[in-house]
Amino acid sequence: MKVYQTNEIRNIALIGGAKSGKTTIAESMLFEGKVINRKGSVDDKNTVSDYRPIETERQNSVHSTLLYTFYNNKKINIIDNPGFSDFIGETIAALSVADTAVLVVNGQSGVEATTETAYRQTELMNSPVVFTVNQMDHHGANFNETVNALKEYFGDKVTVVQYPVNPGEGFDTIIDLVYMKMLKFKDGGGEPEVLDIPESEKAKADELHLKLIENAAEGSEELMEKYFENDTLSLEDMREGIRLGLMTRAIFPVMVTSAKHGIGITRLMDFVVKSCPAPNDVEGKKTTDGREFNCNPEDPTALFIWKTSIEHHLGEVSYFKVYGGEVHEGQDLINPRTGNKERISQLYVVNGKNREKVEKVVAGDIATTIKLKDVRTNDSLMDPKIASAGFEPFPIPEPLYTVAIKAVNSADDEKLGAVLNEMHKTDPTIIVEYSRELKQQLVKTQGEFHLNTIKWYLDNEHKIEVETKPPKVPYRETITKTANASYRHKKQSGGAGQFGEVHLRVMPYHEGYKDPTDIPVRGTDVHDLPWGGKLVFNNCIVGGAIDSRFMPAILKGIMERMEEGPLTGSYARDIVVYIYDGKMHPVDSNEISFKLAGRNAFSEAFKQAGPKIMEPVYDVEVIVPEEMMGAVMTDLQGRRAMIMGMDAKGKNQIIRARVPLAEMQRYATSLSSLTSGRGVFSMKFAEYAQVPSDVQEKLLKEYEAQQQEEE
């Protein structure tokens, strides 16, 4: 394949809702670029993009797919992305390297929840956006309503560049407001017949053309001056204004297609090539130490790994974009994260599962390599001269749905752990961790559909049967008042015995607490607990009642009990302990005796000190359409939420609340159901707070029943 230079490359990400036709658009673009000689279809399960078994079975994209095509001697790299919001991590990764987002909108459904989700990611990544209203051949398609909805949701920057003359069945004709011509397409695609705009469409076309020129002129002061002087812009100036406006998100052009019939596809490709920014036009990518790369082939080699996949017969495949210089086979680069050298053994450009070997890749292009030693998504590979820092990573969205997972057959436990970690490598939004506290393997995802995808792979490819259940809640235990207790551990068995007696006092820890006046404190150790909170351990022994060498053993016994609190087995925290008396035996006293005496004395005192269970409470932010707010508020209040405030944001309302983690199980699914997928939420740990007495009673009974079952 010819080596394309930076200004001959365009990088686009196809994003938008499921069933909007992204994969079909990609297929049509490959066909028009003569990369394939026959178009596949999602229904026939033979598209270049959706080639994985899970995608052909479900008939929708699950992973992003890198493709390329050609138009007008330019190379267009296409990243086709899944439409479901559970796979939003794929979209964010694609937008981190694409120079334009082509946001595909279903012409029948208009602005859907997934359209909003995709648009939000372009805001996050500051991506230029071109809207493409697809499926205009459907009898239910309504272009005007869709454009009105786009403006309502995304503002007046939404600018019509084309509109359909005959939407619905038989759709084949578009008025193009850049060329000011009527384009008539043949069923199956190809270049259109270019005709003059008929009189019946002239007034509408002139009005929309004027609006397009006005918006394009805002791209720069120079263009604005030209527009004021001439009352219009030339074709080249208009394209330049659109390109500049795209880069600053000052204009969101709207195109029209019927990808199934190939209508509008060549014009979309023409628009991408002539009006969308090249890789060296857009804002540069910065390294963590502030250096900026602008896809300059003269710079030292610098590339960014935006995706990792594991392919049969190939192993691990690393997808990268070159931000500086050129990449050659056999080149040695440094990974700043590890400091290790990585050799680029082979370079490929890929179309789905099809790959073609190339000798080098130039700045601005996107390609793949294999068999790197220790490279993962979000890593960089740099020329040794500049390898002190890598590129800033793209943001990984916080998980919204957590389950505990385990293999049905315990012999598969190790294999399950390895497979889940491999999945995390290919999809960083899958978080896998073993909670020592909860004694559970946790999988955190973006939603239930995301989890079901993991299960599909475990069932079908790895043959591991698993069971999932809601994770336990990481409660904490503490005390609310002061209590004393003592415990004597005494054991006699043939040889040497065991003896230790400990008298102690416990009281709640809080900032500025005061030591009691009736016990002399001789030594204090403050322990910041790994699970949060403090243990303050005071030695108050006088007269040698307990030898100081046994104090560490007493502390160890108390710490063991705090790791498995007396109420529910949860971690205990924020307690002050005073060891003020005890007894020893000259022969039988040893460390184990005092460890057990300290542990049991602490347990007794804890139960008498007004023990309380504390639960994790999260700051939750929910964004919902105004008309759905009532149902969402009612649901939150049913989850023991404390509403902290509300704000308006466009057509949406933002609800801020504090909600106990125990009440947030399956909230992602519930919110989606309540809002028809339009609601989104985020949550962040806020604090531990005491549970209400009725909830505490219930938890104590559940723990007691569980203990009896285990006995």
Location of structure tokens 């939407």: 167
Domain 477-610: which CATH class?
alpha beta
* pLDDT tens digits for range 497-518: 899 999 999 999 999 999 999 9
**CA separation for the pair 609, 601 (Å, rounded):** 12
Residue 494 pLDDT:
65
CA angle (468, 474, 477) in 5-degree steps:
150
Can you read off the two tokens belonging to residue 508? 């709640």
Q: What H or E segment, with its residue span, contains residue 207?
A: helix 199-217
Which CATH architecture describes the domain 7-275? 3-Layer(aba) Sandwich (3.40)
Which DSSP category does 397 fall into? P
**CA separation for the pair 33, 36 (Å, rounded):** 8
Q: What H or E segment, with its residue span, contains residue 201?
A: helix 199-217
Q: Is pLDDT above 80 for 394?
A: yes
Q: Measure Cα distances from 32 to 147, 585, 625 in Å.
A: 27, 92, 40
Q: Is pLDDT above 70 for 434?
A: yes
Can you read off the two tokens belonging to residue 617? 């409470």
Q: Measure Cα distances from 372 to 316, 381, 427 in Å.
A: 8, 11, 18
Sign, CA torsion 213/218/220/223: positive
Query: What is the DSSP code string of 470-510?
Result: PPPP--EEE-SS-EEEEEEEEE--SSS-EEEEEEEEEEE--
Can you read off the two tokens belonging to residue 428? 């960083």
Q: Is pLDDT above 90 for 312?
A: no
Q: Measure Cα distances from 359 to 227, 367, 371 in Å.
A: 46, 11, 16
Do 615-694 and 401-469 fall under one CATH topology?
yes
Q: Is pLDDT above 90 for 587?
A: no
Q: In this structure, are strands 498-508 and 483-491 parallel, antiparallel, or unpaired?
A: antiparallel
Amino acid type, 679: G
The answer to whether 427 and 377 have CB atoms below 8 angstroms apart is no
The residue-averaged pLDDT of 488-494 equals 83
The answer to whether 612 and 479 have CB atoms below 8 angstroms apart is yes
Q: Is pLDDT above 80 for 556?
A: yes
The answer to whether 75 and 34 have CB atoms below 8 angstroms apart is no
Per-residue exposure over 64-101, b if at least 16 CB sit within 10 Å of its own CB, e if not: bbbbbbbbeebbbbbbbbbbbbbbbbbbbbbbbbbbbb
Three-state secondary structure readout of 136-196: CCCCCCCHHHHHHHHHHHHCCCEEECEEECCCCCCCCEEEECCCCEEEEEECCEEEEEEEC
* pLDDT tens digits for range 596-614: 999 999 999 999 999 999 9
Across the chain, mean pLDDT equals: 94
The answer to whether 75 and 35 have CB atoms below 8 angstroms apart is no
**CA separation for the pair 183, 445 (Å, rounded):** 45
* pLDDT tens digits for range 162-195: 999 999 999 999 999 999 999 999 999 999 999 9
Of 20-29, 335-344, 580-589, least confident by mean pLDDT is 580-589
The residue-averaged pLDDT of 678-689 equals 92
Q: What H or E segment, with its residue span, contains residue 215?
A: helix 199-217
CA angle (406, 411, 416) in 5-degree steps:
45
* pLDDT tens digits for range 7-44: 999 999 999 999 999 999 999 999 999 999 999 998 88
Residue 650 pLDDT:
78
* pLDDT tens digits for range 67-117: 999 999 999 999 999 999 999 999 999 999 999 999 999 999 999 989 999
The residue-averaged pLDDT of 231-244 equals 93
Residue 159 pLDDT:
97
**CA separation for the pair 648, 666 (Å, rounded):** 26
pTM for the predicted model, two decimal places: 0.89
H helices then E strands: how many in the chain?
A: 16, 38
* Helix, strand, coil share of the chain (percent; to 5): 30, 35, 35
Look up the CATH number of domain 285-386: 2.40.30.10
The residue-averaged pLDDT of 486-497 equals 83
pLDDT band at 704 (very low <50, low <70, confident <90, very high): confident
| Per-domain boundaries in the chain | 7-275, 285-386, 401-469, 477-610, 615-694
**CA separation for the pair 237, 222 (Å, rounded):** 10
Per-residue exposure over 694-707, b if at least 16 CB sit within 10 Å of its own CB, e if not: ebbeebeeebeeee
Sign, CA torsion 610/615/620/626: negative
**CA separation for the pair 565, 8 (Å, rounded):** 65
The yes or no reply on domain 615-694 and CATH 3.30.70.240 is yes
Can you read off the two tokens belonging to residue 292? 């900026």
Give, to the nearest 10 degrees, the angle between helix 221-230 and helix 235-247.
140
> In 48-139, where does DSSP find H-type helix?
53-58, 88-97, 113-125
C-alpha Rg value of the chain to the nearest Å: 32
The residue-averaged pLDDT of 130-135 equals 98
Q: How far is CA 530 from the centre of its chain?
A: 27
Location of structure tokens 């909830």: 695
For residue 100, give the nearest of 237, 257, 262, 245 by alpha carbon: 245
Q: Is pLDDT above 70 for 711?
A: no
For residue 406, give the nearest of 473, 475, 471 by alpha carbon: 471
Query: What is the DSSP code string of 577-609?
Result: EEEEEEE--TTT--HHHHHHHHHHHHHHHHHHS
The residue-averaged pLDDT of 285-310 equals 96
**CA separation for the pair 50, 25 (Å, rounded):** 12
**Topology of the domain covering 401-469:** Alpha-Beta Plaits (3.30.70)
Amino acid type, 14: L
Can you read off the two tokens belonging to residue 505? 């006092």
Q: Residue 226, Cβ neighbours under 10 Å: how many?
A: 17
Q: How far is CA 474 from the centre of its chain?
A: 23
Q: Measure Cα distances from 489 to 149, 169, 497, 541 in Å.
A: 76, 88, 10, 18
The residue-averaged pLDDT of 288-307 equals 96
**CA separation for the pair 247, 236 (Å, rounded):** 17
Strand segments (E) across 84-165: 100-106, 129-134, 158-160, 162-164
For residue 119, give the nearest of 144, 101, 100, 106 by alpha carbon: 101
Per-residue exposure over 470-507, b if at least 16 CB sit within 10 Å of its own CB, e if not: ebbbbbbbbbeebbbbbbebeeeeeeeebbbbbbbbbb
For residue 18, give the nearest of 50, 44, 48, 46 by alpha carbon: 50
